[in-house]
Amino acid sequence: MATDPAHSAHRISLKLRDITQLFNSMDPSPFIERDLDDDAVDFIVSWAQEFPPASRLSLHIYLEQFPHDDPTSTVRQAVHAYFANRATLTQREFRLLMTRGRTSLFIGLVFLTACLVAIRMLPSGASGTWVGMLRESLTIAGWVAMWRPMEIYLYDWWPLQRRRRVFTQLSRMSVDVRPHASHDPSHTP
């Protein structure tokens, strides 16, 4: 990982034996539409997350067995398509989370309101142990019902948005494929 002064982009270097190592061997799709290897994706994403969100990124792949035809254009298309698809899937996951959040919020508010109404309906002059326990139990149950919507709206949404931004960033990064002999990258998956 280094900053490339010529392009002012943060460089992610990946050393592979051959180009097939970049792709998931179990995916039967055509070359450009194939999924990337999970280890390669984890490596690329983990380095991308180390950089500031607005950073420009570049991926440099060094191959020990460089093919006769330069694979840069094909690899660039495959990498961009893969991460663009992941960004789209993450955006869809975010929308589903927000829908679940609205549903949870509605259910939680209805239940909290029912609990508060039930507390108001308890005899106000009653001071027995059971009435006090019931009052406290209804209060706690009503607020616990709000736990899931609060978790969604306070904590669960922003990691998805961060991941989507990273995938979008990776879907636009420059991709360069070179023979290994020209460079000895210090980071490999």
pTM score, two decimals? 0.77
> 78 or 54: whose pLDDT is higher?
78
CB 12 within 8 A of CB 55: no
**Helix H segments across 12-71?**
38-50
Dihedral sign (CA 165, 86, 187, 76)? negative
The tokens for 66 are: 């460089």
For the segment 150-159, what is each residue's pLDDT rounded down to a tens digit?
999 999 999 9
Whole-number Å distance between alpha carbons of 102 and 107: 9
